[in-house]
Amino acid sequence: MKNSEVIVKISSISTKGFGVGRLGSYVVLVNGGLPEDELLIKIVKAKKHYGYGKILNILQPSPHRIDDVDVACKHFGRCGGCQLLHCDYDAQLGFKKQIAIDALAKIGGIKYPPVGDTIGMDTPLKYRNKGAFPVVTSGNAYGFEIGMFEARSHNIVPVTECIIQHPAHVAILTAFRQFLNNTGLSAYDETTHSGLVRNIMIRPSFSTNDIMVIIAINAKKTQYKDELVRTLSSVGATTIVIRKHTSKGDAPSDFDDYETIYGLGYIIEHIGELKFMLTAPSFFQVNPTQTKTLYDIALQKAELDGRGVVIDAHCGVGSVSLYVAKYAKQVIGVDVVSSAINDARENAELNDVKNASFLCGYAEVEIPKMLSSGIMPTTIFLDPPRKGCDRVLLDAVITNRIPKVIYISCDPATLARDIKILIDGGYTLKGVQPVDMFPMTTKVETIAELVL
């Protein structure tokens, strides 16, 4: 079947952005396909039960397809950042609702999942407050390139514009390219673990003029500090941090050393009435506008009356903890990242919140200890990373009969898996609300409410 040309009708969108079609019982995943597209495709990869197709011709376009997408972004189709830029926004919201429904039905075993319509944005563009851009060796005239990886590849796409990033990103990337060209500093090569500059992360605040730039290097000593500060501060950077990361793999490590070479080393972001101090290692939602929507819904579903104890698992910098604190008697946040807990404590002080405390440790270790010591929460917020909750934590929630669980998730599959465990343990799923935290992508944030 590989290299054959076939006509296929697309019926749905996968969680990774492929259009899904069928040739009898054989599933075909087509990059760029949209529901109701009729396409002439070439099978470029074939497995036993499914294959991947490349569009050769659009025979009948989907009614959701946007024709002038190349005008909106010249990188579309190469950059891996946006899978749905060519799709009408209302249709995107519908697809994301269906992704949540399918996960809960197929993985969670829920026959009729109570999923609401996805809450979208009035203007779903320029919404990202954080962008991380790899710096890689290249055969071009400069010897390096900065940009985004192509989808499912480590080939780099130079970013000279972006429809979803904060406008500050492109200006700072342009200046940083010039800095590297002027100094001759080498780009990192992941295959040989050689070279200096690994990536640049840009994190602007939407509520202040703060812009943090974090540069990861494969070294313990920083070169050309003065020139770097002059270059980046001239295009708006208010604080510059060097992340000294010499281990293999590009994900931040607990062993990384952070050096602030300009500014305060943090930025201030607002969510509603609250202020949050964000340092270089801090996790924070990438869409401040939709974060407030998300937290408002979570607070509404929690139905706090000011008298109960609330536990916030995976609390990060304390954003959920502090958002709900004035509606609770006591809030206890837990997170394994020590820098996040330090930020959470600072943020409690910054907002004069007296009834929130924060503990550093694994949620699946510390929360069972709390529960066995006699602390009895009325509500627990679960907001784990993409891999979902540890089974030990879910078992502790079930065993201790915590009356209400509010589960915030960025992965419908692991959410559905964990909800099944909670339902089997005696909980009822009252509702799931998708929120479009990531327009133009297939990612969706969801809030689930479960009660005993």
Residues noted as catalytic: 410
Q: Where are the beta strands (DSSP E) in 280-402?
A: 309-313, 330-335, 356-360, 379-382
Strand order in the sheet with 356-360: 356-360, 330-335, 309-313, 379-382, 404-409, 445-451, 428-435
The region that residue 97 occupies, defined by phi over 0 for left and psi between -120 and 50 for alpha, beta otherwise, is: alpha
Mapped onto helix, strand or coil, the DSSP state of residue 44 is strand
* Alpha carbon distance 359, 313 (integer Å): 10
CB 53 within 8 A of CB 43: yes
CA distances from 163 to 15, 24, 425 (A): 21, 38, 44
Paired tokens of 400:
């201790």
* Alpha carbon distance 6, 401 (integer Å): 55
Mapped onto helix, strand or coil, the DSSP state of residue 267 is strand
Paired tokens of 193:
């673990």
Q: How many residues does the chain have?
A: 452
* Alpha carbon distance 103, 113 (integer Å): 9
Residue 369 carries which side chain, given as an amino acid letter? K
Q: Where are the beta strands (DSSP E) in 24-161?
A: 26-31, 38-46, 50-60, 131-137, 144-149, 156-158
